[in-house]
Amino acid sequence: NIYRIILFDQRGCGRSLPHGELENNTTPFLISDMETIRKQLNIDCWLIFGGSWGATLGLCYAQLYPDKVLAMILRGVFLGRKQDIDWVYAEGGASKLFPDAWQNLVEDLPESEQKEPLKTYYLQLTNIDELHQMAAAKTLQAWESTIVTLRDHEHQPDPTQDPSPLAHSRIQLHFALNECFIAEAPILEGVDKIREIPTIIVHGRYDIVCPIQQTWELHQEWPEAELNIVPMAGHAAGEPVLINALVTATKSIARTLQPAHKPLT
């Protein structure tokens, strides 16, 4: 009875159609979609809960509409800068920790493209040949599933059977190649707009996808936000220690914000 929870699939993902659509699919459009949802549901102000790219989008939304945000709970913050994207998709970042998995990602590419394979994979994912699309999505998913968690790797869906992983990969690389459409409004430069919003940031100490340095830089600019570094945790929200930390964060925010009996959104 504490929270009214609203979930949505962003453009082209999950149950939003068409799958993998790239036209008019940018961060400003997604922020506009969030604001449309808020208005359609007659919500005055709401709490933003997001992890990884969801944290990026939540921060961007809050910086544009700070008066509509009661509080935020963020996990595995991703700042969306070129250096953050290159950590995952260029040689010299996560590839140094998982050289075997990186080799599997790039070994079939021309040597000239192996250090920065992002553009090549994007071309394959947008190729008219569906077999090229599926193969590229499957290889990317194998790389990402390797670095996302400290636990044993979970089964990855087959893009030939389920269109959503293919859509996910297409959209993810579309945003990555365009520096998440936020290069003109970097998150760290907009902290003053959200400084007074109660916020808890949860980050796994051994997050390989979004290294904790990103959250640390944000926290240096925004010491008012509460930072919880979770030992023995990676990036995936499903890791038990991260689940516990996030549940604790929701209870803490509720105690801070909740009036006597009004549910939080």
Residues labelled as active-site residues: 52, 207, 235
Q: How many CB atoms lie within 10 A of CB 240?
A: 9
In contact, 227 and 203? CB cutoff 8 Å: yes
Selection from 228, 243, 235 nearest residue 206 by Cα:
235
User: What gap in Å lies between CA 19 and CA 117, rounded to an integer?
Assistant: 23
DSSP the chain: --B-----PPTTSTTSSSTT--TT-SHHHHHHHHHHHHHHTT-SSEEEEEETHHHHHHHHHHHH-GGGEEEEEEES-----HHHHHHHHSTTSGGGT-HHHHHHHHTTS-GGGSSS-HHHHHHHHT-S-HHHHHHHHHHHHHHHHHHS-SSPPPPPPPTTT-HHHHHHHHHHHHHHHTGGG-TTS-GGGGGGGTTTS-EEEEEETT-SSS-HHHHHHHHHH-TTSEEEEETT--S-TTSHHHHHHHHHHHHHHHHHH--SSPPB-
